[in-house]
A and B are shown apart, each in its own frame.
Chain A
Amino acid sequence: MNARATGALIALFAGLLLLPAFASSYVLSLATLILLFAYTGQAWNILMGFAGQLSLGHALYLGVGGYAAAALYFHYGIGPWLGLWLAIFLCALIAAFIGFLAFRYRISGVYFALLTIAFAEFTRIGFDHFSWVGGSGGLFLKVTQRESLDLLNLRGPPAMFYYGALMLAGAALVLCSWLLKSRPGFYWQAIREDEEAARALGIDVFKWKMLAMILSAALTSVAGVFIALYYNNLFPEQIFHIGRSIEIILGPIIGGLGTLFGPVIGAALLTLLAEIATELMTALGWQFAGLKQLVYGVILLFVIIFLPHGVWSPLARKLGIDNVSRRDAGAQSLDSK
């Protein structure tokens, strides 16, 4: 990372730290959403962008994570700090199970994607009939005073959630930048580029794919806990829905698969463009359900046709922080197979 990039990053982080001081609650909620998508995108990117395994069922980990922490809190009054560990543990276990089945039987590509969808949908319908956590009627957490800050139970004002999301996104960025530069990252990229060649070089392909799967799922489950606490409600039809999984993958794809800043840029672009479109339509007096998703779809179509490597790599070159993407340049070869 060159000096220019480091400087820009520090300035950005400082700006984000100060944001709640002068931003309206609307801007703050938008920023929280962007950071949350940046975080989940980063988590998904480990599995797809680094290790090359296309998961289309990441909503599964959001849902299980969210429900685990929320149910503990709802039924036993056990706070989210403990629930978080249960969420991580459960999701790691589920990911290990799915990963074991898939990678043992050498299921990859489209088949792997379908397997992940099947597990997510299976769980969604299961939770629809799981009355202990409210079934399809949903699970609701008590909405507390938004002014008082209760860090022990993570109940507090929007600014608390904003800083939580900022911390998550920042930590994920640091983790991924470390991963890319260290042994796991190189192994994953080797597997992504050519699994057989990686195997021939003595890389334990199964082990490293499992690791990517478990890490990605565990990170995603934390976002699930965050969503449960932030929105105070969980519905299987929303949290487990395939639309959720698609939302997670849009950011990294638009930003640039396998890059470090792709998920962040992608999340910001996507959220802002969808918001602008919604505002514009509201101003024009057009109120349509599905408009946001339509905008997502059009952006996705545009990016995949005209910018198959995402917006980050060309942007980085323009901004003169090319060095950053040199390490990410491997992502380019994702498309040269």
Chain B
Amino acid sequence: MLDPINFTNVIISGVLTGLVYGLMALGLSVIFGVARVVNFAHGEMMTIAMYAAVMLFAGLKLDPFITVIPIAAAFCVLGYFLQCAVIQPFITRPEHSQFILLLAIAVIMTNLLLILFGPDARSVQLDALLQSIEIGPLLIDRGKLYAAMVAAATAAALFGFFRFTFTGTAIRACADNWLGARVVGLDVKKLYALAFGLGSACVAVAGCMMTLLVDLTPNLGPAYTLLAFVIVIVGGLGSMTGALLGGVLIGVSEALAGLFIVPSAKSMFSFALLIVVLLFRPQGLLGHRS
């Protein structure tokens, strides 16, 4: 009954989707890891990026592999100013206040999209991606492969930025020790905003790639917010490699759940995983105990 080739195909597809999930979660992880703000509007931000990509495709026939660059840049700027103007005053407020603030932003985003674009599903159809790649008996979906490659490249660029540039190191310093960073003269507020901008850019890239994988509706947001949380908590909140690993893990487990049980129950599996991880390893697979 279980065909090994089919099984391998499902695993590959899960890994590829998982890399895009991982990039989305990476954005959340960067925002939380640095600014210690729980971005409850994460999935909603991704949905907005998806609409940008889909509308640009429908209107100007530009495919998401090109529009991803301006969209990511725009999100970086938007994220920067969102942090400066709205979120920064909440940094010293209690956790639940921040949570509710971002919840409000999320509710506004979802329903604005619903009002602007209506409930109909939209998607991007690229002719060039219709044909699958055949490697021996294995079939790989071209759209998924390219999307995963873009996601991996973006993640690699981000890793490089944090490791090798001065600004990246400064942001990590803020995340490690906020007071220490101030003492050595870093502009913490600016770096927080920059981290929020970078996290937003990540989620924008993930969103553009996501248009190749799923049909787009305005109410995708909350589900992806939750998914991003599941991934970062499974991988370890604040750990960047953990986010990518968690993404791949969730991607594969969703794909397998789709194969073995009803596809519509696949996210039940993710939530079960979240519950188990929260209870037995709350710092996540790659996280450190604080």
Show the binding face of A for B, using Cβ within 8 Å: 48, 54, 101, 105, 107, 109-111, 113-115, 117-119, 121-122, 125-126, 128-129, 242-243, 246, 249, 253, 288-291, 293-294, 296-298, 300-301, 304-305, 308, 334-335, 337
Is the CB–CB distance between B229 and A129 below 8 Å?
no
Query: A-facing mask of B259-280, CB < 8 A → 1, else 0?
Result: 0001011011001101100110
Of the residues B95, B97, B100, B108, contact of A294 by C-beta under 8 Å: B108
Chain A residues in 8 Å Cβ range of B264: 125, 128-129
Other A-B pairs, 11, CB within 8 Å; known A121-B267, A290-B115, A301-B101: A54-B96, A110-B38, A113-B99, A118-B274, A122-B272, A122-B275, A125-B271, A246-B103, A294-B111, A297-B111, A335-B97
Chain B residues in 8 Å Cβ range of A113: 96, 99
Is the CB–CB distance between A111 and B278 below 8 Å?
yes
Number of interface residues of B (CB under 8 A): 42
Is the CB–CB distance between B278 and A114 below 8 Å?
yes
A120 and chain B: residue at smallest CB distance: B271
Q: A242-B222, A304-B100 given as contacts; is B94 within 8 A of A105 (CB)? A: no
Distance to closest chain B CB from A192 (angstroms): 10
Is the CB–CB distance between A109 and B278 below 8 Å?
no
Q: A242-B222, A297-B104, A297-B107 given as contacts; is B99 within 8 A of A107 (CB)? A: no
Distance to closest chain A CB from B213 (angstroms): 20
Q: A122-B275, A289-B119 given as contacts; is B111 within 8 A of A300 (CB)? A: no
**A308 to B96 CA separation, bound complex (whole angstroms):** 11
Distance to closest chain B CB from A333 (angstroms): 10
Distance to closest chain A CB from B128 (angstroms): 35
Chain B residues in 8 Å Cβ range of A242: 222, 226
**A295 to B271 CA separation, bound complex (whole angstroms):** 30
B86 and chain A: residue at smallest CB distance: A305
Is the CB–CB distance between B233 and A291 below 8 Å?
no
Q: A121-B226, A294-B112 given as contacts; is B278 within 8 A of A48 (CB)? A: no
Of the residues A105, A293, A301, A305, contact of B111 by C-beta under 8 Å: A293
Chain B residues in 8 Å Cβ range of A115: 274-275, 278
Chain A residues in 8 Å Cβ range of B168: none
Chain B residues in 8 Å Cβ range of A305: 86, 89, 101
Chain A residues in 8 Å Cβ range of B107: 246, 293-294, 296-297, 300
Of the residues B96, B101, B106, B115, contact of A291 by C-beta under 8 Å: B115
Is the CB–CB distance between B265 and A125 below 8 Å?
yes
Distance to closest chain A CB from B162 (angstroms): 23
B258 beta carbon closer than 8 Å to chain A: no
Chain B residues in 8 Å Cβ range of A129: 262, 264-265
A54 and chain B: residue at smallest CB distance: B96
Show the binding face of B for A, using Cβ within 8 Å: 38, 86, 89, 93-97, 99-101, 103-108, 110-112, 114-115, 118-119, 218, 222, 226, 229-230, 233, 262, 264-265, 267-268, 271-272, 274-275, 278-279, 282
**A117 to B271 CA separation, bound complex (whole angstroms):** 9
Distance to closest chain B CB from A119 (angstroms): 7
Contact sample, A vs B, 6 pairs, CB 8 Å cutoff: A54-B95, A105-B282, A111-B282, A113-B99, A114-B233, A122-B275
**A4 to B5 CA separation, bound complex (whole angstroms):** 78
Distance to closest chain A CB from B270 (angstroms): 9
Of the residues B93, B105, B226, contact of A308 by C-beta under 8 Å: B93
**A30 to B128 CA separation, bound complex (whole angstroms):** 54
Of the residues B110, B226, B229, B271, contact of A293 by C-beta under 8 Å: B110
Is the CB–CB distance between A109 and B267 below 8 Å?
no
Is the CB–CB distance between A125 and B267 below 8 Å?
yes
Chain A residues in 8 Å Cβ range of B282: 105, 107, 111
Is the CB–CB distance between A304 and B97 below 8 Å?
yes
Is the CB–CB distance between B265 and A291 below 8 Å?
no
Chain A residues in 8 Å Cβ range of B118: 289
Of the residues B101, B108, B222, B233, contact of A304 by C-beta under 8 Å: B101
Is the CB–CB distance between A337 and B94 below 8 Å?
yes
**A110 to B103 CA separation, bound complex (whole angstroms):** 13
Chain B residues in 8 Å Cβ range of A121: 226, 267, 271
A114 and chain B: residue at smallest CB distance: B229
Of the residues A114, A290, A301, A337, contact of B110 by C-beta under 8 Å: A290
Chain A residues in 8 Å Cβ range of B274: 114-115, 118
Chain B residues in 8 Å Cβ range of A128: 264-265
Distance to closest chain A CB from B279 (angstroms): 5
Chain B residues in 8 Å Cβ range of A122: 268, 271-272, 275
**A296 to B278 CA separation, bound complex (whole angstroms):** 31
A296 and chain B: residue at smallest CB distance: B107
A288 and chain B: residue at smallest CB distance: B115
Chain A residues in 8 Å Cβ range of B101: 301, 304-305
Chain A residues in 8 Å Cβ range of B103: 246, 300
B114 and chain A: residue at smallest CB distance: A290
Chain A residues in 8 Å Cβ range of B268: 122, 125-126
